[in-house]
Structure 1
Amino acid sequence: MSVVVLGSPEPGWFAWRPGADRSAAVRAATVRARRRVGVWVAGAGGAAGVVGGVLVGGAVGVPVGIAFFVVAAVVSVALILLLPVRVSEWDVVLAGSAGDVVHSDEFFGLDEQRRRGRRLCESFLAARGSKARLDPVRVGQVEVLLWRVLFALRDSLTVRRALRQAVNREGLSAAIAESTRALGSVDRRVDEFASALRILAEEADPELACAALRRVAALDPL
């Protein structure tokens, strides 16, 4: 799925850009997972090799002990290459590029915006799962709009963090005011889109739901 809302133990959400190729992210996530397995196996294999080499070398002879250590190292490498690695959907998300996926972890420290993104995703999923026979083409258009909104929200985080830390002293007042106005404009458009999307998600009447979908799909939120 392109849009996902996660539950416990770590509530979160993510949205892929519609049409994004995730193969590169899957490969990167697999490499990271294999490295984690490799660290564990190499550590365990190295410890076993050292201990076994010392014990065998002490009992039989140094050459045999060295041979045992080499065998343990070879087995460790083989296990790293052959053991299957488990890659979760969240691993793939974290390995994805910023141009392909937006996720809740990027909103760290700005809980209001993180919750905002979650509500948008929840409304979209509720609308897409509606029993009304919604036009799949328009649903796809709304998904593109949702992606644009989430992307814009993430893009605004740098300014939001800077404003939280800014001291309104002489020379900065104008810049702070301008940034605040720009964010206010973005927020108003996002809220308009979120409100229309929520109405669509809550509409039970099939005809009214189709009309609500047309209204959402016709919006230009940003």
Structure 2
Amino acid sequence: MLFEKLANKSPRDLNISTWMSLRDTYESVFKNTKFDDFMHALRDGIEKGHITEEVLNDRRLEHLAHDQMCPDYPFLYACVLNDLAQKTLDCGNNDAGWSLLVQASASAKEAAVHAFYNSEIDIPAALKRRRAVTGAEASNAKLQPAKDYAITLMTERRPKHGWDDLTHAAESIEKELSDFIHNQRISLSKERIVTTIKRWHREDDSFRSLLNAIIPTI
């Protein structure tokens, strides 16, 4: 689909549409400055040797290392490539121009997407929430053997008449589960086994479902 769309465009059309995309992105990110002024400064920087391929490579590494959701680098890269493509087309070299145009168009689209998400989503907060979720998942994975053993013990130790309630079941397996936690070096308080089992029942849907099958009166 992408190549079909490109095939239906002339090099000049693609060059112009990329400029339009870059202008829209610039105006959405930098509301108090003008895109034409930015491009004038960029071309001046290239002519004076302040913006080189080496500088762009350094900016790319910074982008990859620190903030891949920031639109700044793909935007800058697209501007440089599209300007080079325009000059190449002016010289009549359409083949070389196409290569630059395709890269410029892709980088402009990346910049537009990043600019949109940065405006619509609180990225730092989203990353913080994701780290919190990842941390919780890792913590749960470490506790899972203790939860599994608790279920096993309550199943094996269940009296003929059944458990009276969750407290009865938890207190009955307290010593065995405490020994298991100690031997497996699981980071849990051995002095609060009953309280811990009740918390698992409240917070862990899977654990609660298994307990409900063992202790129907919960």
Asked if these proteins are the same fold (TM beyond 0.5), I'd say no
The normalised TM-score by structure 2 is 0.25
In our comparison, the structure showing a higher alpha carbon Rg is: 2
Q: Report the TM-score, using the length of structure 1 for normalisation.
A: 0.25
Q: Which has the higher strand share?
A: 1
